[in-house]
Structure 1
Amino acid sequence: MDSNRLLGDFLRARREATSLEDVGLPRTGQRRTPGLRREEVAMLAGVSTDYYIRLEQGRERRPSEQVLDALSRALELDAPATEHLYELARPRPRRQAYRVEQVSPGLARLLDGWRHTPAFISDRWLNVLATNAMADVLYAGLDHRDNFLRLLFLDPQAKQFYPDWEKSAQLKVALLRATAGRDPDDPVLPELVDELCGRSEEFDRMWARHDVSPRRDEPKRFHHRDVGEMIVSYESFTVDNAPGQQLVIFQAEPGSPSERAFALLAAQVEAERADVMADVRRAVASVGRRHL
C-alpha cells in the first residue's frame, strides 16, 4: 500500500461508485466502465481534466480547500467521507515513531473490576490490547482474537458468531479506512492491509471500495456457542493519556434474554475462578505437607 497514492485511490474508487443519476447527468450511449468518467468529475468540480487526472495518479497531492470542497460536492460525499478526503490531502505530521501500545496498570485494574459485562481495550488498528474475563468467555473458541479484522475475515467461525457478518465487516473496514486517513504513514497499516488482502478476497473487495465511517455506537448481534444469540449495545471511550486507544463496554437491555445470557457467561467466569482457586489451595496444601 503506497501512502502517496491514497488520495488518488480514494478519488478513483468514489468516482467509480458514483452514477450519472446520483449527480443529475443524462445517460447517453454505451459506457464500458462503472460510475463517472474523469472528465465528468472534472466538469462537476470546475477543474481541468488534466489536473483531475494528476490527482488520481498521485502526481498532484496538495489540492486547495476550494478544490476539495468542489470534489466533495461533485462526488456527493457525506460528512465522514469529506473529512477523510481532507485528511488524505492534509496528512498530519507524525508526532512519534511507532511503538507497541501498552495499557496502563490503572486502566487494566478498572477493566478487571467489571465482573458482569464484557469490556476490552483496542487501538486504532483494532488490535485487542486488554480484555476482562467476561470478554474472554464471550469470544472463547474464536481464532485471531488479537485483532477484530483478522477475527472477522480469517476465522471461519466468524460468520456464525456475527449473524450480521456482512454489515459488521463493512463497518470495520470503513472504520479502518477512516483511521488510516489520519495516520497513513504508520507502518502497522500496510502490514495489516497487505496480510488481509492476501488472505481474504472479501477484505480485498471491501477495502478497494474506499468506504469510510466513524465508529458507530449501535446494537450488535452475537451468536455464542453456549448461550445463543445476544443483542447488545456498547459504549466506547477514548483514553486521554494513550491516543488511539478505546475502552469498549458491552451492555444488555435489563430483563432481556441477552441479559440472561450475560448472567450465564458471568456464572461460567465465576465457576472458572472457583476451579482456579481450588487448584491453588490444593497446591499450597501439598507444599505444606511436604514441609511437615
Structure 2
Amino acid sequence: MLAGLSADYYTRLEQGRERNPSAQVLDALSRALELDADQEMHLYRLARLVPASRGGGGREPVSPMLLQLMDTYAATSAFVLNRTLDILAMNRLAEALFSSFADTDNLVRMVFTDPAGPEFFTEWHRAAQSTVASLRLAVGHDPHDARLTRLVEEISAASPAFRQLWEQGHVRGKTAEAKELLHPDVGRLSLTFQAFDVRDKPGQQLVIYQAQPGSPSDHALKLLESLSANYRDHEDADLP
C-alpha cells in the first residue's frame, strides 16, 4: 500500500519471479521501506539500474602515493580495504594495533574466525553486524564474484554467527563509527574510524582509526606507536 504496488506484483518481487522492476518501482519501494543511501544504491545495483562498477575491487595493488601518505599518519592507524574486506595495506600503527591477530589478510576472518576477535572487539556483536553489512554491499557490485563466493562459503562453514547475520541480508557501507577495542599491550581504546573511497582504485577504501586528542586512548595510541618503534629498532639492530 505504501509503495502503491499490488500485493501480487510485490510478492513476485520478493519471490524472485519478477526480475526487472522499473526505476519508479524501486523509488517507491525505497520510500516505503525508508531505505538509507547505502541500502537504496544496493537495491538499484541488484536490479542492474546503475552502471556497472569500474574495477573489480579485488587484490589490486595500493598506489605508491597512497602508501606514502599512510606512512605520514604517525598518530593514527590507517589501512586499505577492498570490497571483500581484504586488507591490502597497513601503516605501522595499524600493524601494531592488529598485532594480536594471527593473520591480518581479511577483516571478516579477523572478526569471525580468529580467536583474538571477540576479545579485541569488545563490542563484538556490533562489530560482527557492521562487518557483514559491509561485505553484503559487494554482492550488488558483482553477485557472481568468485572471491566473494569462496569467502562467504568459508566463513559460513566456520562461524554459525556469520551465517545467521549473512542470511539477514542487511547492508551498510563503512563511513564513520565509534570502536571500542582492547589491545593486549596498551589496554582499552575508544576510537573512531573514518572511511574514504580511493578515487583512482574503485572498490578500495582508506580506513583511518583515531582517538580524541588528549584522551586516555590518544595516550595509549602514542604508547603503542612508541612500543612499535622500539620493536622495529631492535629488529634493525639485529640485522647483519
TM-score scaled by length of structure 1: 0.74
Q: Distance in 2 between matches of 1:208 and 1:265?
A: 38
Alignment of structure 1 residues 130-149 onto 2, 5 Å:
130-149=89-108
Whether 1:88 and 2:41 are equivalent positions in the alignment is no
Aligned to 2:76: 117
1:161–1:222 Cα contact (<8 Å) kept = yes
What amino acid does structure 2 have at the position aligned with 1:242? K
Aligned to 1:69: 27
Aligned CA distance change for structure 1 residues 196 and 83 (closer, same or farther; 3 Å): same
Q: Distance in 2 between matches of 1:134 and 1:173?
A: 25
Q: Distance in 1 between matches of 2:101 and 2:14?
A: 40
1:244 to 199, 203, 208: 203
- Report the alpha carbon displacement of residue 48 of structure 1 after superposing the two structures with TM: 4.9
2:214 to 255, 258, 264: 255
RMSD: 2.3
Q: Distance in 2 between matches of 1:171 and 1:236?
A: 13
Aligned to 1:36: none
Aligned to 1:200: 159
Runs of 4 or more consecutive aligned structure 1 residues displaced over 6 Å after TM superposition: none
State which structure, 1 or 2, has the greater radius of gyration over its C-alpha atoms: 1
1:144–1:154 Cα contact (<8 Å) kept = no
- Report the alpha carbon displacement of residue 199 of structure 1 after superposing the two structures with TM: 1.3
Gaps of 5+ in 2: none
Aligned to 1:154: 113
1:161–1:223 Cα contact (<8 Å) kept = yes
Alignment of structure 1 residues 33-52 onto 2, 5 Å:
45-49=4-8, 51-52=9-10
Q: Distance in 2 between matches of 1:59 and 1:209?
A: 20
Aligned to 1:189: 148
Q: Distance in 2 between matches of 1:248 and 1:176?
A: 15
What amino acid does structure 2 have at the position aligned with 1:191? R
2:56–2:202 Cα contact (<8 Å) kept = no
- Over the matched positions of the two proteins, sequence identity in percent amounts to 44
Q: Over residues 21-59 of structure 1, what are the superposed CA-to-partner deviations in whole Å (9 max), with x where a residue is unaligned? A: xxxxxxxxxxxxxxxxxxxx8x9642252x444333333
TM-score scaled by length of structure 2: 0.89
Whether 1:210 and 2:169 are equivalent positions in the alignment is yes
Q: Distance in 1 between matches of 2:7 and 2:180?
A: 48
Aligned CA distance change for structure 1 residues 260 and 194 (closer, same or farther; 3 Å): same
Aligned to 2:86: 127
What amino acid does structure 2 have at the position aligned with 1:270? A
Q: Distance in 2 between matches of 1:226 and 1:60?
A: 55
| Secondary structure at the counterpart of residue 101 of structure 1 | coil
2:179–2:192 Cα contact (<8 Å) kept = yes
| Secondary structure at the counterpart of residue 193 of structure 2 | strand
Aligned to 1:288: none
Deviates more, 1:246-255 or 1:159-168: 246-255
| Secondary structure at the counterpart of residue 219 of structure 1 | strand
- Report the alpha carbon displacement of residue 273 of structure 1 after superposing the two structures with TM: 2.0
Aligned to 1:275: 234
Looking at both structures, which has the greater relative contact order when contacts are Cα pairs under 8 Å and sequence separation is at least 6? 2
Aligned to 2:179: 220
Aligned CA distance change for structure 1 residues 152 and 106 (closer, same or farther; 3 Å): same
| Secondary structure at the counterpart of residue 62 of structure 2 | coil
Q: Distance in 2 between matches of 1:235 and 1:44?
A: 34
What amino acid does structure 2 have at the position aligned with 1:186? D
2:86–2:105 Cα contact (<8 Å) kept = yes
The number of aligned residues is 239
- Report the alpha carbon displacement of residue 206 of structure 1 after superposing the two structures with TM: 0.6
What amino acid does structure 1 have at the position aligned with 2:207? V
